[in-house]
Structure formats: C-alpha cells, structure tokens
Amino acid sequence: MDVAEYSYRLLEGHPIVAVGGKQYLLATGAARSVGNSPVLMGRRDIDPRPSHHGVTVANLRQRLGSEVSGMLGADLLAPFAVSLFPEDRLLRISSACEIQGDTLPIEVIRGAPVLTVQAGGVGGRQLRLVLDTSSAMTLVPERLLRHCETLGSRKGYHPLVGNYRTARYLLDLAIDGSSRKFQAGVLPDRMETQLQADRLDGILGIDLLEHFGICLRLTRRMITLGPRSFGIQAAAGA
C-alpha cells in the first residue's frame, strides 16, 4: 500500500499543509483546489484553478496573513483515503483507510463530504453538515444556538465569506452514537443562503479533530472516526 505523509500546522485554527516545499490550506469542503501552479500529491498531479467561487491565492494570503500557495480541495483528495491525526499534526494519504474505529456513511454534495449528526445529543434534531477543514469551528444557524451556553465571541475566517465575527456557543452534537461538545459559531448569512440550496444546515469544521482522528474516503462515501494519534493507531493495529 503506497502511503504519502505530510505535516500540517494550525494557523489560527486553519490547517496549513506542507506539500513540495509549499504551504496550502486544507479545505475538504471546497470542490476545487486553488493555485497558480501544478500540485503533486500522492503521485497525483493536478492543475488547480486560479479561482474557485472567488477564492484566489492572493486573497488567501491577504486574509490568512501567510504566504500560502493555494488551497487543497476535494478534487485532489477524492481518489485517496485521507487520514488526519491531530495530535501529530499529520496527514497521510493512501489507497486504504489507516484508521480503525467507527465507520459512518457520508453524502457527497457538489464534491464535498456531508455528515448527518444530531443537534442536542443522541435523539436530537438531525443536521446535514458539510465537513470543511478550512473552517476553524463548526457553524450552524443562530436559531439552533439560542438555548446553548454562550462562550463570548471570536473572529473567524472562511474562504467563501472572508473574515467575520461571531458569538460562540457550547453545542452538543452526536456523531458516532454519543454526545460531544463543540464550540460552535453562527453561520454567516451569505453561507447559509448558499447551503440552503442543497438543504444543508451548516459546517462541521476542523474542530471535529478535537474529538477524533479521521479517515475520509470520498469516492466510497465513508468516514472513519478513530484515534487522534498515529502512534496509538499503529500500536492498536500491530
């Protein structure tokens, strides 16, 4: 099994992956990669688009405040089993899933992975959320947060809407059959309008990795939730 391994860092909560000596924003929720030159990843070479829904290298650099070379989207990741181990800041791509854990079905809408979760915990209202690692936090409509504990406010950034400020709330979400707490923000109006066209409820951000390591298989429409460290996973599989 061929495996390619890449390190990543978090820039204000946004995963920046080192590929071929360049830095890219990891954006599982983007259907297309963005860049000004070809990207070789796991023996797959693609020519990213110079712009996708208004996202360009120039505005990524401006808004992130970093010399990124583009954005890695679902078009580049789809052929692989993509594993993220947050404790190690490690991304591994291969032909087979490297994580042992609970495997859940996903939908793929406009190229992006969509998970069904329950707001309010097990048995709560079902939400269809786009798994988008370019978002530093989970974002849902304000009406779903009115009865949640408030945690102050913070600045946020998403490639599709730019910079914004939101109140933060403590939101219970059940994903793998048990309830877990997420610090969720209010979905910006522009993004809510875009998601409503596909009957989607919000964004499940990179904060999913505060609870799990993940293996995403877009072509097979599956996600596996497991250990957050590659070392723990390797020991379990030994």
What is the helix (H) or strand (E) element at residue 71, kind and residue range?
A: strand 70-72
Tell me the average pLDDT across 113-120: 93
Distance in angstroms (rounded) separating the CA atoms of residues 215 and 194: 27
pLDDT at 236: 65
Closest to 25 (Cα-Cα) out of 8, 38, 41, 42: 8
Does the pLDDT at position 5 exceed 90? yes
Tell me the average pLDDT across 190-194: 90
Under the banding of pLDDT at 50, 70 and 90, the label for residue 111 is very high
- Tell me if the domain spanning 104-211 has CATH number 1.20.140.10: no
Under the banding of pLDDT at 50, 70 and 90, the label for residue 122 is low
pTM of the predicted structure, to 2 decimals: 0.94
What is the helix (H) or strand (E) element at residue 129, kind and residue range?
A: strand 125-131
Tell me the average pLDDT across 101-106: 95
Does the pLDDT at position 120 exceed 90? no
pLDDT at 58: 96
pLDDT at 234: 64
Average pLDDT across the chain, whole number? 92
Does the pLDDT at position 121 exceed 90? no
Does the pLDDT at position 1 exceed 80? no
Domain ranges of the chain: 3-94, 104-211
pLDDT at 62: 92
